[in-house]
Structure 1
Amino acid sequence: MRLLRRLGLRARVTLATTVVAAAGLAVAGVLMVVALERALLGALDDTAHGHGRDIAALVESDQVTNPLPSFGAAVAQVVDAQGRVRASTPGGDRLTPIVTEDDLDALRAGEAVNLDGGRLGMPGQLRVVGEPAGPPGDPQTVVVAVPLTEHQRSVQFAAIGVVGGGAGLTAALGLLSWVVIGRALRPVDELRAGADIITGGGGEQRLPVPSGDDELTRLAVTLNDMLGRLDAASERQRAFVADAAHELRSPITALQTELEVALHHPEAADPSETAQDALAEVTRMARLVDDLLVLAHLDDPRPVRQAEVVDLHELVDDVVGAIPEPRAGLVVDAPEPARTTAHRDSLRRVLRNLVDNAVRHARQQVTVTVRAETGTVTVAVADDGPGVPEADRERIFERFTRLDDARGRDAGGTGLGLAIAREIVHAHGGTLTVDDAAPGARFVVRLPAADSTEPYGGGPGPSV
């Protein structure tokens, strides 16, 4: 076993194939030789019985001569019930039976026995059979012995041929297996070499795809798809880190400037105003860091599943009531309960992000509509602001994306609110889309109703 572990896959498979083939050929060869031996021995017995029946016919017709007519190399005797030899071929003993009394009883019972040819001065062994003869009052037995030399020589030649042919066939099969397995494993080695040169630094590095349409080709295609997804994820991660660093640099730079002015020109700085400005920048950084932590939690493949039935009507009332002095009017249209199974705080964050976004862009009014439909609950947040161009209605859900009219520092957004909202909604098995409110934008959240199929395989989305 230790030696097998040191062999390569190609050698192990070839060895296993050769051993199995050799074992199969050996079994088949043994069976063939045994079958041939029995067939030849049966044919020899039939020939001897034929000679015995011819002599028995002479006995029956009382035409027996002594010596008996010869049948080639066969030796025949006619033996009576008392074990006396009545007649014999020229090569046989005319006084003593060629077999013992026990063997003679076996012959009378229809069996065949083997006899050492030395008793008759012949090389090798003899095959002896018996045929009944004579009238009932004088039963006799015709004993016929034929040489086994040719039979044994034929079986020996057959065994040699089987061994030689089996060995040659096994060697040829082993060589063929080595070549075929080597060609079959060549794409695997190419995949390994291709994987060895991939540095993980991004780009379009891919594994070579073998020709054909087999399992290795599909494996290479799947691995290349996986590399593409990894490259895309790595690119998103790099962009995310760069965007996060850029977003954090602005408040840090502003805070550093405020503090340097206060330190170097204390006479020109109002301590109260400096503290307020510094607090505003720190609050901005804290909000950004909090959003980053939420996104990191959403990216965790092990979600925390804390489910409860949430009434979106009540949750919307709580979110709207918690907004201090909104710059636009807030109207809630929720005529009936709309329940879903979710994490309450996660949905609260979604609604707060959507309402804050609508208030920030509205001119005069924001309308929040809650509806319960068959198997679905819907929350729509509409404002009468400038709206979202159709070309940007998917881009605004990307991280750190803000349209041109929302890029100012005073807008109050980090560019993460809508991305967080959509990922939370998706984690709960729902959808978040935006369409035209004519005028303004209308963000629509659709979630499974509490009595419909549960997302996430029976559990809610992650708590954030």
Structure 2
Amino acid sequence: MLRRLLFILVPLAFLLVAALALPLGTVLAQQETQRVYVDRLSDVGRFASLGDTAMRTGRLEALDSELTRYAELYGIDVAVADPAGEVVAASVPPNQAADLLDSSRVQAVMTPALAGFRPAPPTAVWPWESGPLVLAEPIGRDSEVAGVVVLVSPTDRLRASILYDWAGLLLLSLVPLTGLAASAWPLSRWVLRPVQRLDGATAAVAQGDLSVRADAAGGPPELRRLAESFNAMVDVVQKAVERQRAFVSDASHQLRNPLASLRLAVENLAPFLTGPDARTAHQDAVEEAMAMHRMLNSLLAMTRLESFSGAAPVDMDGVLAAHAGRWRVLGAQRGVTVETRVPGGLWLMAPPGGLGSVLDELMSNATRLSGGTRVELRVRSADGSDPGEESASEVAGDAAAESARGAPDMVELHVSDDGVGLTDEERAGALRRFWRAAKHQNTDGTGLGLAICAELIRGAGGELRLESGLPRPDGTGHGLDVFVRLPLAPAPRPDATHGAPHEAAHGAAHGATTGGATNGATDAIDADPSGASA
């Protein structure tokens, strides 16, 4: 940000100085030109007076002598011509005088002079112009023009003088320009320091750290007020979150025990119920109590999702080592084959402590609700190709190539089944809270599990959506594919992760079963594996 601001301020300083220096340089050139013009105008006026006397008396020798001495002394050629344009006297030989008056520049000023008018003075002589300064003065009185005096003055000294003035102006302009450039760095740092601190505090708050406050000291008053307003806003948010968490804690404490007592009391009524209708009503009451308990766990989980607003590197090898065996056992119990096609050594940016539980929920839904015979977990590179048995370095290379072309550095995970699947309308609503498919209304669950998974994945900078899955064995359609897209994480150096990758990944993936405070959302998913009905 500091470089960008300097990139704006320094060129603006140059433009400002140039905007002032250019008009001033033009004025200096015009003033120097006018000074020389006035000096030459007095000389040509004197020669016009001498020429008038010489042409009336017919004595041209004195005029020739005067013009020659003037040319020798100043290096300026002068010629006197009659009304017909013929040379009468000149400071150069006659053959050169004719060539001198034949130039287009001289003719341009002679013509109005022969008509009795003094030509307009030049505005400025520029250093890059090499032509002489030409002046013409009519000879005669009143309307009678007896001839014209033409003075052709070289401009070498004039152009050198203008260049000298411009050089002094340039040196003088460097003083404020250097001051502006030198002050731009500390001024930019003074202005941007509170912005950078505010940006850091905002990023920390976005990651879920509500204890961070922006430093309101230093910088412009407007930025100090902005930092104070930001701190006040974070105070309000922190208090609201603390009140919400306190309410959740109180509700959890106050509702769990009554629900447990209610369920126990209802179950204890079983020996006293003899009629079939009473037993049916009793079983419905037990199931409703259990559903209320699951609903309470899920609602508590939704209130803790703010703890998962960030992402951390997770080793897929560790996740599979901790969970794949459970998936296969669960699938075998339900007659479903579970396959995993994940290259080794793959690291992803995933919800801290949540990726394993998210995959648990997706696998539980696929084996329990799909009605199929096969569930597959596979990884696809960012360009959509199926890596099959390729290594994680090849998947990372594909993602890096996508990143080099401007695409996000992402990897796709797919949990696909060959079951009954969902219609387009059902897939559009399946990620909403409490959503249940019509064919799963009588299945245990709250309809929150898949919504929690989507929240966790989005909090880690990824995406979760539902698509068509594997083809059904009978060829009548496709099952469901839960598409999870997560950022690719660089594999840690061996010396930094020695002895830790499996432990870190296992803790991240299996942490939901430990009951930690930061794993509340995934606790509810594990406690209620049927939470989603997708």
TM-score range, shorter chain: 0.3 to 0.5
More relative contact order, 1 or 2 (CA 8 Å, 6+ apart) = 2
Q: Structure 2 length normalisation: TM-score?
A: 0.42
Q: Structure 1 length normalisation: TM-score?
A: 0.47
Instruction: Judging by fraction of residues, say which structure has more helix.
Output: 2
